[in-house]
Structure 1
Amino acid sequence: MENVVRLSSDFNESPEPFITGVRNTFMRPRIVVFIPAHNEEKSIRDCLAGLGDQTIPQDVELDVIVIADNCTDRTEEVALEAGEEFNLRLKVLKTQNNRQRKVGALNSAWKSIYGDPLDLYDKKLTKYQEYYKHSVKAILGMDADSRLAPDALCQLWEGLMSSRNIGGVMAKYTMRMPKKKSFISKDDVRYEEKLATGEYGGPVARWWTHQQKQDMASWLLDLQYRGGSTYVLGGQATLFRPEALQDIVDENKLDGPWQDESDVEDMLLTWQMQKKWKTLISPTARCFVDAMKSYHTFRQQRNKWQSGTVELLTNSDIGVKSKHKWKIWRSQFKSFTDLTIRLLFVTLLIVALATDQFFWSWIWVTPIVLASVLNTILAIKTPMHRTIDVVLAALLISPEIYLWVNLITFANVWLGKFSANKKDGWAIQYNAESGKTKSKLKEGIIVSTLLVGLLVYFCIDQRAFLTSETVQTAVKPYLQTGWTILTYLTIFTSLVMLYQIWTLRSSHKA
């Protein structure tokens, strides 16, 4: 009978002397967590607390690697203290002069286990490292400001292990609602410190967070209705099969699975994985993530996401395709249609009113009613919604404001596609979140108000000329053509909304 020895479970202790002469040695299967953290001393403890709450799958061990990426704060110290507090097997890797940001941090954690193919000395893994590498059955990628709900890890594990051809399973994300600022006493000596954590927010921040929650809920419900396959395994909380990540390394001759060729590195990774593996969302595992609590930070985040997506869709040099590509193009086309309808409607309405040729038709009530029904259902299906959120959704106030912000981003990215200068989406977003850049929203509102005022003044001042028979006759054919095009576009979008309402009848949860 062969000798079977279970190796030491100490994460930082190498049992090399113990291995000598052993014919068959194994380690318990394990999940390793990668948490890239750049100056995350305020959020890393909460992230690790969520891991401490998890029920670990039977006979499986959990190891945590926090990558302190170019940190200038106490991220490393706080992580180590939290590891001891929550009884986690944790170690911290520190990067220096890492220019690839999150991608470089994740790859450094990967190479700490699987070796560095770019090592000039061609170092071989020790026996212990080989045993450890083969014991890793899943890798959980997490952001430092996200937190898993209890039992989420087990649910992700069950999903990943349910079939041999599943390469990654993503948790369902929902944004954490900031607590009311009124909960903090103005006499609290830590008032400003508590506000700085981002845990508290005013009415606008709370409203803005819900819009992002509802947007995420809509996306998750659509994916589940179509079978649960996803075109992006989000970096906030996804459990990967190491073999699937290794396939990406081998096939693309990389030194690690993650690449910085795109601002949406998680989408690029997913598309590469889909060549051989399934990529799914978990129907039950939940992860709570931080929302962008201001217009400025939200715009910069969505600008990065949108520009990265457009780059993947249009840049043939990246050389990767997805079987879900048509879904993303469908989303882009929907945004283009929404933008066209609104710009066309505003233009036609102004010209029609100015020339006294506007006629109301009750057919225009149809898309308004459908949009109200659709957004009300989505608001109700959004986790932890508030009554005010449902009311504002039914009145179309919140959805329309949120949509306009996204449409501005959509237009900005596609126009920027023709620019010769490529912007660094990661740097722009980080600078916005750290307060190094400011929004131009106020200036934009002031300029828009002045333009509207000037337009109204001109229409009133030139009323006689604009309503003259000559002008009406010249403008009428263009108005008729415009209203006809708008009618067909409205019918199309109304059918799309009817279909969305139909899909929401399912029992899937966001």
Structure 2
Amino acid sequence: MEVTVLVPAHNEEQTIGQTIESLLAQTRQPDQIIIIANGCTDQTVEVAKKYPVIVMDLPRLEHRKSEAMNRGWNLYGRDSDLVVSMDADTVLVPNAIEDWEKESWKRLFGGSTSKFTIRQPGLWCRLQKSEYAYNIQQGLNHGWTNVLAGAGSAFSGRALREIAARDDREGPWSYESAVEDYELTYRLREAGYKTYVSTTIRAYTDGMKNLKSLWGQRMKWQTGTLQDLLRFGVNHLTIRDWFSQMLNLLGPAIRALWVMVISLALYLDALTLAWWGLLVPILFMAINLKTALRVPYKDKWDILIVVLIIPIELLACIRGGWILASWGEILRKKITRKDRDLWAAQYKAEGVEA
């Protein structure tokens, strides 16, 4: 079996080395490691060339990551049996390629994604780590995933060739979607392939270090997902995603209603303590604690965030904010008929040159 790894990179001089080293330390070595440098203005290319890998030094591409992936795939991955996609700030455990190769023999295998986690300190990174753990557990419980995250996933070569044969693209990755990972996973499932969360493969990735960068990242993810959902419509493949969108709005709404009721009771001097009044915060605390206990590499601070309830509940309200804002972005585009560069907005939020 021929295994090709594609690593798109944009100004990743600080992390590209450890990403490549994790690939070179695999128990099953990939046959090709392709570093696709997309418009880098730092030392990413120079660092990558120190290793036994193929480096594509490309100018700034119009369609950014998805175009970089298509160029790498068309040149080096088209005939591969297994194609691994990695971000340039991701580190894979040593058994990843070997286990993905074994998983690829499953019937109708379309792709498998890693169990992602963040090991950076700081409140915002810990909150994201809890989020990742919850989403991963949901995928494991369901036995499938709706997103094969490009940060660390493996794809069937045959399945990618089938998707690439569509008339609306020049490779497996679409230029119409701001969330190319979600769109590709949907197309694989639409074609009858299975997409999984691996039970044995973990990937370590960087988180957003502050609210500004987190908001920029999630606005791109959320707006891009909504755009895709509106294009795909409601069907058996998207119904759970539409339901999830509603739940993400309902959670903050319930919290806001609870606060309003308590505030109104205080204003009217009619607040009385009753056990049922604590049901809502106790319920959310129990759900959050259950998730926290599943977080890998957890420590006392991860548990404390849940016990204090305020930080993680604040994130839930902020999540509702970027969901509402993403619907506003969809409406703005509908009215003005002008696209907004969501990648550029994310780079700006992170303080990275676009």
Give yes or no for TM over 0.5. Answer: yes
CA radius of gyration, larger in: 1
The aligned residue for residue 33 of structure 1 is: 5
Within-5 A mapping of 1:292-441: 292-315=208-231, 319=232, 323-419=236-332, 420=335, 421-434=338-351
**Among 61, 80, 97, the residue aligned to 1:98:** 61
Q: CA deviation at 1:280?
A: 0.9
Equivalent residue for 1:67, pick from 28, 36, 44: 36
2:236 is aligned with 1:267: no
Partners of 1:417 and 1:346 lie apart in 2 by 29
The answer to whether residue 83 in structure 2 is matched with residue 139 in structure 1 is yes
- C-alpha change, 1:321 and 1:36, in structure 2 (3 Å) is farther
State whether structure 2 residue 15 is matched by structure 1 residue 52.
Answer: no
Mapped partners of 1:157, 1:378: distance in 2: 30
Percent pairwise identity: 31
Within-5 A mapping of 1:234-313: 234-275=149-190, 276-313=192-229
- What's the C-alpha RMSD, in Å, of the aligned pairs? 2.0
- Rounded Cα–Cα distance in structure 2 between residues aligned with 1:280 and 1:53: 24
> Do the aligned partners of residues 211 and 324 (structure 1) sit closer, same or farther apart at CA in structure 2, a change above 3 Å counting?
farther
Selected match of 1:177 from 85, 105, 120: 120
- Post-superposition CA distance 1:94-113 (Å, at most 9, x none): 22241110011101111213
- Count of residue correspondences: 349
Asked if 1:211 is matched to 2:127, the reply is: yes
Tell me if structure 2 keeps the 8 A contact 1:271–1:320: no
The alpha-carbon deviation at position 415 of structure 1 amounts to: 2.6
2:280 and 2:65 map into 1 onto residues whose CA distance is 43
Q: Is 2:252–2:316's contact at 8 Å kept on the other side of the alignment?
A: no
How many Å separate the matches in 1 of 2:44 and 2:323?
35
Structure 1, unmatched stretches of 5+, are 1-28, 115-132, 179-205, 438-510
Seen in structure 2, the aligned counterparts of structure 1 residues 237 and 320 have a Cα distance that, compared at 3 Å, is: farther
Please tell me the residue identity of whatever aligns with 1:45. Answer: G
2:139–2:196: 8 Å Cα contact kept in structure 1?
no
Opposite residue 170 of structure 1, the aligned amino acid is: T
1:360 & 1:308 partners in 2: Cα distance?
44
Report the more deviating stretch, 64-73 or 352-361.
352-361
**2:164 and 2:233 mapped to 1: Cα distance?**
14
Mapping for residues 6-25 of structure 1, pairs under 5 Å: none
Q: State the match for 1:482 in structure 2.
A: none
Equivalent position of 2:73 in the other structure:
110
- Runs ≥4 residues deviating over 6 A: none
